Amino acid sequence: MDPFPIKALKPRHAVLSGEPGCVSINVLMRAFIWNEEIVDTALRLDDIGLLSVDLADLAGKAFAFPVNPEDGYIDGSIFLGGAHHPVDVTALSFPHDSDGGLTVVIEGTYVFEYEGLADLPDTPFTFSTSISSAVI
């Protein structure tokens, strides 16, 4: 098995859903090839304690979160290599992009050591991507 290509984990778009106090963000990742297979996955963030699901209310704001198991943590995971790997997210922010749209900046750590992924260590990350709302 080839080593996991951590740099291949790149976001393409995020979708916000849920209700105030129990928000979810699904970050669709760009597909990539690993071990001759196409990997099409998403970073799933649930139980986010945001007080609004209206993107206009979140614009320009930043939020900090503790890691699991502290109260208020974000329940995050990503499915790779046949397992759901925990993701500890410690910060979310919602800046405007250059086109006037909204982005989400996510800071956290992929916890690969929990399920084991070819001896890949836990890996901190920060990325941003466009975000839209599934809430009508």
**Tokens coding 16:** 């916000």
Decide: residue 96, CB within 10 A, 0-12 exposed, 13-18 middle, 19+ buried.
exposed
pLDDT of res. 124: 95
Query: Residue 39 belongs to what domain range?
Result: 8-133
Residue 79 located in a structural domain: yes
Is 72 within the bounds of a domain?
yes
The band of 111, judged by pLDDT with boundaries at 50, 70 and 90, is very high
Residue 110 belongs to some domain of the structure: yes
Residue 60 counted as domain residue:
yes
Evaluate whether residue 2 is within a structural domain: no
Q: Is the pLDDT of residue 117 over 70?
A: no
In a domain, 46, yes or no: yes
Number of domains comprising the chain: 1
Least confident of 39-53, 67-81, 112-126: 112-126
DSSP letter at 96 equals: B
**3, part of any domain:** no
Give the torsion sign (CA, 3, 25, 22, 108).
positive
- What is the spatial distance between Cα 113 and Cα 28, in angstroms, rounded to a whole number? 22
Please state whether the peptide bond connecting residue 69 to the residue before it is cis, i.e. omega within 30 degrees of 0. Answer: yes
Query: Alpha-carbon Rg of the chain, whole angstroms?
Result: 15
What average pLDDT score do residues 14-29 get? 97
What pLDDT digit, counting tens, does each position of 7-20 carry?
999 999 999 999 99
Mean pLDDT confidence for 58-72: 96
